[in-house]
Each structure stands twice: as structure tokens, then as C-alpha cells.
Structure 1
């Protein structure tokens, strides 16, 4: 008997676990597998609806009584750098960029471990070993690149971003960098350079992941002009950050069945 993957994606919900962004909250995710010939079309479609990719899974927050997490993207045409962002560009003018296929290296892993140990020693990824790191980089069903930034003088790797290429933009899946270069604002620079990458490719958006009001970890995203947030099933131009709240409310999120019913799916039949 021949077995085939179901044509329509199947959606599932994770068990509640402590929220990494807001203390005292519990998070839950709605997710589906990213597989088969229609993987790219599914990723393109769901990314436009607030989903993110992690290896071969697409997920979106689906917390019981909190709707603080909002998918964020920069509309490239509306972006204008601030003075501090222009300084970040100048400070990192000595870096070279190289985009490669999604293949993990020892040099990347060493930088990744140094970054985690310095910045996120108590985070959810703190215990990742070299095999899990390789899976994070290499397990992808879609067009993915590893964007490396190296010091032009020494050749040392100083920053890396795992980047997906979507039909309407680039999605920054995960980035890490040399923590000892704090004054260089490398995190900001990587985003600025991805705006340039999108411009060079003629793509309108840079997807940043989630912005969470009230979370210091996510505050940097609101500093970029041209920012849009996915709220209530549609993208909207970001209002002043103080107008968004992270308060709890039992009616903040729709029931799971209703959420799934409202997801727009692409035609995944062979083309």
C-alpha cells in the first residue's frame, strides 16, 4: 500500500510552558509540519499570516489568555535609518558579507556557543549541542541561506544570520554574533544589512519574528521605521509602542478550532 502525505496541513497545539518573554505567563503554540513539494508555498502563505519557521515546523503563538506576541516586519520602502542606526552602519563598515547554503560549520558553532553563554545562558537554547545546532541550520525544506559577516582584516567570523527567502521578502530566522563587540551594535547592523539585501533583491519586506510589548528582549524591534505588525488577522502600520499592551484578558484569543478555520491555505496540489 502506498502512503502519501495529507494534502491539507494538519495543525496541532503545544502543551503550555513558561513564556520566555513575559514573566509569570504561560505560552502555547499552534504549529504544523513543513514538508512535501508544497513546502515553499505553505511557508510563503503562513509567513504572511504571522507564522514563523523553526526547522521543519511552522508555528504561531496561541496562548490561552494573552495575545501580546505580534509578528513584525519592516516595509523596506518606508524605512529610514535613525542617527544611531547610521552609526551602526559606519562602525561595521569593515565587515564583509557572504551568503552560503545552509550548512553548519565548527566556526559558526563556536560563535553560537560564545553568544549564548554571554547573552542567553539561561535561555531555552542554552543546552544545544553541535548536532542540534546543525539541525537548526540544515533542516529546511525551503530556500534558506546562512549569511555570514566576517572582519575584513582578520577574516574572523563575527556574526551569522539564518535567513529564509520568501516570495515577498527575507525572513530572519535566527541570528547570533560576537558578544565582545558590544559597541558595534551587531544585532542592529544585521537587520540593517538584511534591509539592504531585500532592496537588492527587489523584495518588499524583512520579517523580524515577534515583537512583544513589555518585553525588554524585544524592545529593539520597535526602533526600526517602516514597521508593520500582524494584529487581528491583518498587517497594520505600527502605532506608537505605548499604545500596545500586554495585559491578560480571557477573550484575547479565539478558540483553536476558530483560529485554524481562519487560516488561508495555498493550493498545495502539484503544479
Structure 2
């Protein structure tokens, strides 16, 4: 499939089937495209609104033939309201401060990244990443990318978020945190920090990637309400009344790119 920009045709490729890392027993396929080049920012903005995610210089979206469990989700930050549990998380982490820094890999970050991977995802591909792999994940980007480092009052690094800046919001690419501080729910705290940061920037949305209802790793994203999901080509509010059944085409390669 191709999408023609004013400068050059955009080529899309489909990957070979691979075991799904989120839903046991299923296979995944992705449609991918290179977003490098002079049109990278504009193309990335349009693809993000169409449900794509970025990794390095590639944008991708799921196109699994027999499964539509991956649902693009975003938070309209102006109307986000933390629930009782989230308010407790905010109070618990009130002394932890987030600092926006350039997208440059450091050994301090990588040490925390390795501890997180070994504790939470020891059987995943990312656990085998060395520092140079990590640096590529952070720095190999053709668009405006930044990081937020979360530190205690003693300057201990406890959480890191990698973020892309879009014309209509921020996109949370990847986060990791100190696995010995699991009781603090630092992942949820980081999302709420990014929601507040997006609001301060005057941007409407925080993109959270894919929500997967049946995956313990990905289901948490629906807790940040109100939320919107990309359903049959349009962003629509997520609620119990309009929640689509799995297999009903929740996330599909879009026919047209939203403006």
C-alpha cells in the first residue's frame, strides 16, 4: 500500500507472522513504513492520528488477520480526572519530580532500564539489549523526541519516560521504573505527570499506544479516563456502553489518514 505525499510516495510493508508478545497463543503481523527524511514530522503526526506507533525511524501498526485486540488509545488531557486510586498514587509520589531532558542515553538510565527488564520482562527481547541497543532506542529518531527523568529528593533516578512531541499532543513511547518501588505505582504516576505536562503545553492529547483488554501488561491504559479509542477509523470515547467486542475491528490499518 502507498500513501503519496507532496514530495515522494510513502511505501508500506507487512511483516512476517511472529508470536504475539501480549496475547498467548496468537500471531502478530505489522504494517511498517520508514518515516525518515525531510517530511518526517508531518508524516509522523498523521500516522499517529491514524493509530501508528514509532520505533527508531519506523512507524508501525498491527494488521493481524484473526485478531483486533490492539486498540489505539489516547487521553484528552483537558478533561482527565484522576480517580480515588490515582489520587492516592499522586499523593504517595508527591516528592518525586519529573525533569524534561534531551533524548540522550546515559549509563544511569541504562542501569535502571536493565533492572526493570530483568525484573519485569526477563523473557523478552529487550532484556538482551546492551547499552548501544538502548542508545539506539533513545537517540535513533527523525522527529522531536525528549525524555522525562523522575527523581527523588535525594536525586535518585527512579523512572524514565521516552516521549515524542506531536502537533496535537505528546506520545508516550516507552517508560521504565525501579522495580523495587512497585508499591508506588510509578508507571501510573509517570502517565499522570505526562498528562499534566501535555496540558501545560496547551496540547489536547496524550497518546498511550495500544490498549489490549485481555493483556495484563496493556489493560491498565483504560484506567486513565476519559479516554478515546480509534474504532473503525474514528477516535471515539471509551466507555462501557460503546466498548466493542473483541474481533469487531477495533484496530485496523486505516483506509484514510485523519487530518
Q: Which TM-score band applies after superposition, normalised by the shorter structure?
A: over 0.9
**Aligned residue in 2 for 1:195:** 195
**Aligned residue in 1 for 2:65:** 64
User: What TM-score do the two structures reach when normalised by structure 1?
Assistant: 0.89
**Aligned residue in 1 for 2:104:** 103
**Aligned residue in 2 for 1:137:** 138
**Aligned residue in 2 for 1:219:** 219
> Secondary structure, in 3 states, of the residue corresponding to 1:9?
strand
> Secondary structure, in 3 states, of the residue corresponding to 2:9?
coil
> Secondary structure, in 3 states, of the residue corresponding to 2:115?
helix
What is the alpha-carbon distance in structure 2 between the residues aligned to residue 188 and residue 215 of structure 1? Answer: 16
What is the alpha-carbon distance in structure 1 between the residues aligned to residue 119 and residue 186 of structure 2? Answer: 14
**Aligned residue in 2 for 1:94:** 95
Distance 1:142 1:213, change over 3 A: same
> Secondary structure, in 3 states, of the residue corresponding to 2:190?
helix
Equivalent residue pairs, number: 253
Q: Cα distance, 1:214 vs. partner? A: 1.2
Does the alignment pair 1:264 with 2:257? Answer: yes
**Aligned residue in 1 for 2:167:** 167
> Unaligned stretches of 5+ in structure 2?
1-6
1:82-110 Cα shifts (integer Å, max 9, x gaps)? 01111111111111221111100000000
Q: Cα distance, 1:252 vs. partner? A: 8.2
Q: Cα distance, 1:21 vs. partner? A: 1.1
What is the alpha-carbon distance in structure 2 between the residues aligned to residue 245 and residue 216 of structure 1? Answer: 18
What is the alpha-carbon distance in structure 2 between the residues aligned to residue 52 and residue 253 of structure 1? Answer: 13
| Structure with max Cα Rg | 1
Distance 1:253 1:138, change over 3 A: closer
What is the alpha-carbon distance in structure 2 between the residues aligned to residue 225 and residue 168 of structure 1? Answer: 18
CA RMSD in angstroms, aligned pairs only? 1.9
> Unaligned stretches of 5+ in structure 1?
1-5, 267-271
User: What TM-score do the two structures reach when normalised by structure 2?
Assistant: 0.93
CA contact (8 A) 2:72 2:251 kept: no
**Aligned residue in 2 for 1:39:** 40
What is the alpha-carbon distance in structure 2 between the residues aligned to residue 85 and residue 109 of structure 1? Answer: 28
Distance 1:253 1:87, change over 3 A: closer
